[in-house]
Structure 1
Amino acid sequence: MKQSLPVACVDLFCGAGGLTHGLQQKGIQVKAGVDVDDACRFAYEANNNGAIFLNRDVESLTAEELASYLDQEDYSLLAGCAPCQPFSTYAKGKDTTQDAKWKLLRSFGNLVRRVQPDLVTMENVPQLPKHAIFDEFLQAFDGYHTWFEVVECKDYGVPQRRRRLVFLASKLGPISLIPPTHENHISVADTIGDLPKIQAGETSKSDPLHAAAGLTEINLKRIRQSKPGGSWEDWEEPLVAQCHRRDSGKSFRSVYGRMRWEDPAPTMTTMCYGFGNGRFGHPAQDRAISLREAALLQTFPKTYQFMPKNESANFSVIGRLIGNAVPVRLGEVIAISIANHLERRQSQEVYKQGK
């Protein structure tokens, strides 16, 4: 039985609940998740131990409303992952200071100023510290000890190559993420190797989320000629797309690729169910990975529900929920780090009292 920690949490930009689930698995009491996308509601509430879903824009939240959830335990934690579109490589070289999308990170910082939680955590894209908006965000943490670093998620037991910024802050003392936990990385085979075989366009009878998108005739021919870890360069000439024949497209070797059984997967994205959207081809079967396989590579448990029973999977909606999620395992690592932090503080207090 997992140990319960005296920490009440609200998860901002909660999505389908990856971060919430990881925090809860290691004892943090997540009371509510907030997201503007109502498609997240079912998955969030069906899997997360009484945490309620608030279909709200974070800018509409008041300090009093958040306090009603955060005051339920000895310590308060504000968590979240502000959507990262403005930090993408597509914004490189552009002045995005006035971009309206920056308001999400600003809103997070403003809530920290108003609520003054004991603890804060954020997961985001690795490019964020290179932008002036991050320095502005840090100004909200006067009186806090802060730590942030870009981590490779596969070093913490996530079976994919996924570099993410992890941010931690505490009013209680110095805090940091635990050291890497996995020198030997978890592979694709370890994660999805035991799932039933299905074909492109087929859904498993035992699991409606184990569904693979269909393939056009030409893409079926392409995947049959694709080698694990290879690229479209493995194909016969007539199958090569026109865009890859041009010099500008020859460097894009990671699309239309198969994963390798023995390696971690590539970064899961919102389009990871599509063969042509990256190296998302199954290592052995002639199809892209299924939605369930994508969820497992994001370290959601096999029992995690993304839709009501008797409903068929909507690839674009569920793909978005899975690809945008914080990996559950990363949420667990953050929770373990917070638990260690509180244990150190308690030990220090006992030591002071004994002197």
Structure 2
Amino acid sequence: MKFRVLDTFAGAGGFSLGFQLAGADLVGAIEIDSWACDTFRYNHPEAKVIQSDITSLTDEEILFHFGNDRPNVVLGGPPCQGFSICNKNNGDPKDPRNSLFEEFIRVGRLLDPEVMIMENVPNLIKAKTESGELVVDIIVNELKKIGYFVKYKILEATDYGVPQIRKRLVVIATKKEISDPFPPKTHVIGEQSDFLRVGMPKCPTLWEAISDLPEIEARQGSEVQPYTKPPENQYQKTLRGKSSQVHNHKAMNHSSRLVERFASMVWGQSTSDVPDHLKPLKRNSTEMSDKVYDQNNRRMFPHKPCHTIAASFYANFVHPHKNRNFTAREGARIQSFPDTYVFLGKPTVVSKKLLGREGRTDESYLCQYNQIGNAVPPLMANAIAEHLLKCIEDVACLSTETILSKKKITKQNILVEYQKNTLQKSA
């Protein structure tokens, strides 16, 4: 079976890329954000990319775009805000049937693919509606209603060689029942003795993911630049591929005070640990801020996997050795994007609230950091795709054997019946 993939809520295309690495053809993508669409088109020129709010696409439009070039796999990560699990203070959790998840279901109902895969935040597994129903149970039942066998599981990115502690809920729906559609663990975290003992390769550390990239300080780097050193391990060789230069490796324009703050921090420390005179100031003021967030600007350990690369990771982490935040390319490496994958749009943007106040809503798009942080790590997606393809092929083989077996039994019954009739006549 050849996978033909349509990616809904596609973002920059990390989910699609993982399937493409497994040999899939990309039929297309549906994504609302302009800059994310630019990135998807640039890196997947063969795919039909529909830039639109999926809720505004009619059934006829979806069938017009993808009905004749029908996918057999539909991917999607409907935003979790509709499930009311990101905001702990929300006392009225919404039913996913009234959220963007229903659009994912609608696409499945219209195109009837063999496989539908949804990924989302792991907390979704605990979320309940106001009436006490588990959100994940509703999702499973809605997929079953349109003809699928459904299973779900929380997957950890480090289990598949992604140098990042990142858990995601993955829901897999298939037309034919598969006992375990989720990929087995392929990597381990630990010392040399650990992975030799279990017979699996070691998951790369943060430093093993990014150490070969050009060394730049705050305010240095550019959108395109040459490599300055050779790759130092297999992970780096794999992600470099045939790339001849580094894209998206521009350090943020930190102030000298912020650089000084970072310089005071050791591995594991964050903004809350710096000396008082270096702590953040209130906006447009010389007074110290009374809000210091423990998770902001934490200096990462080089010899461990990175913490979760979120959409706002430009302010989450400090480079293990440099006094600056990560570049977009370092984030992409940690997410397991190859260096040939180029992110378009601006590296960062100011908050939507500020853009609105300043009348700059035309800049309210997903910047490079947002696109990277929102993505499904391609290596994890690739593990899902390769395992699922094998499972489907195995099920197809079993189905063929069953049919042949039934035919054989039928022939045997006819033969026995013939022999019985012949004996009766001769008697």
Q: TM-score, normalised by structure 2?
A: 0.72
Conservation of the 8 A alpha-carbon contact between 2:67 and 2:111: no
Conservation of the 8 A alpha-carbon contact between 1:67 and 1:115: no
1:346 and 1:71 map into 2 onto residues whose CA distance is 25
- Among residues 128, 131, 142, which one is paired with 1:131 in the alignment? 128
1:166 partnered with 2:199:
no
Deviation at 1:51, TM superposition (A): 1.2
1:156 partnered with 2:193:
no
> Which residue matches 2:329?
292
> Which residue matches 1:226?
265
> Which residue matches 1:270?
311
1:23 partnered with 2:33:
no
Alignment of 1:18-97 (within 5 A): 18-48=14-44, 50-59=46-55, 60-62=57-59, 65-66=62-63, 69=66, 72=69, 76-86=72-82, 87-97=84-94
> Which residue matches 2:390?
340
**More displaced, 259-268 or 42-51?**
42-51
- Secondary structure at the residue paired with 2:87? helix
> What is the CA deviation profile of residues 259-317 of structure 1, one whole-angstrom value per residue up to 9, with x for unaligned ones?
111111111122212xxx32x1000011111011011111110111113xxxx843231
C-alpha RMSD over aligned residues: 2.6
> What is the CA deviation profile of residues 12-54 of structure 1, one whole-angstrom value per residue up to 9, with x for unaligned ones?
0001111111111101222001001121122112212511211
1:330 partnered with 2:335:
no
Alignment of 1:117-266 (within 5 A): 117-129=113-125, 130-132=127-129, 133-142=135-144, 143-174=147-178, 175-184=180-189, 185-204=203-222, 205-206=225-226, 207-232=246-271, 234-241=273-280, 252-266=293-307
Give % identity: 27
Conservation of the 8 A alpha-carbon contact between 1:9 and 1:69: no
Q: 1:208 to 1:144 in 2, by over 3 A?
A: closer
> Which residue matches 1:305?
342
Conservation of the 8 A alpha-carbon contact between 2:115 and 2:173: yes
> What is the CA deviation profile of residues 63-85 of structure 1, one whole-angstrom value per residue up to 9, with x for unaligned ones?
67348636647x71111111123
> What is the CA deviation profile of residues 231-260 of structure 1, one whole-angstrom value per residue up to 9, with x for unaligned ones?
3354233223479x99x967x433221111
Conservation of the 8 A alpha-carbon contact between 2:5 and 2:74: yes
Which structure 2 segments of 5+ residues have no match? 130-134, 190-202, 227-245, 283-287, 350-366, 406-427
Deviation at 1:334, TM superposition (A): 1.8
Larger Rg: 2
1:65 and 1:232 map into 2 onto residues whose CA distance is 47
Q: 1:214 to 1:30 in 2, by over 3 A?
A: same
**More displaced, 34-43 or 80-89?**
80-89
1:61 and 1:186 map into 2 onto residues whose CA distance is 44
> Which residue matches 1:282?
319
Q: 1:102 to 1:261 in 2, by over 3 A?
A: farther
- Secondary structure at the residue paired with 1:228? coil
Which structure 1 segments of 5+ residues have no match? none
1:320 partnered with 2:370:
yes
Conservation of the 8 A alpha-carbon contact between 1:20 and 1:48: no
Q: 1:286 to 1:116 in 2, by over 3 A?
A: same
2:108 and 2:399 map into 1 onto residues whose CA distance is 26
1:36 and 1:232 map into 2 onto residues whose CA distance is 35
Q: 1:234 to 1:93 in 2, by over 3 A?
A: closer
Conservation of the 8 A alpha-carbon contact between 2:79 and 2:100: yes
- Secondary structure at the residue paired with 1:220? helix
Deviation at 1:93, TM superposition (A): 4.6
Deviation at 1:350, TM superposition (A): 3.3
The aligned length equals 338
2:392 and 2:60 map into 1 onto residues whose CA distance is 24
Q: Provide runs of 4+ in structure 1 moved above 4 Å.
A: 70-73
- Amino acid aligned to 1:188: L
Deviation at 1:160, TM superposition (A): 0.8
Deviation at 1:351, TM superposition (A): 2.1
1:233 and 1:72 map into 2 onto residues whose CA distance is 54
Conservation of the 8 A alpha-carbon contact between 1:154 and 1:160: yes
Q: 1:225 to 1:66 in 2, by over 3 A?
A: farther
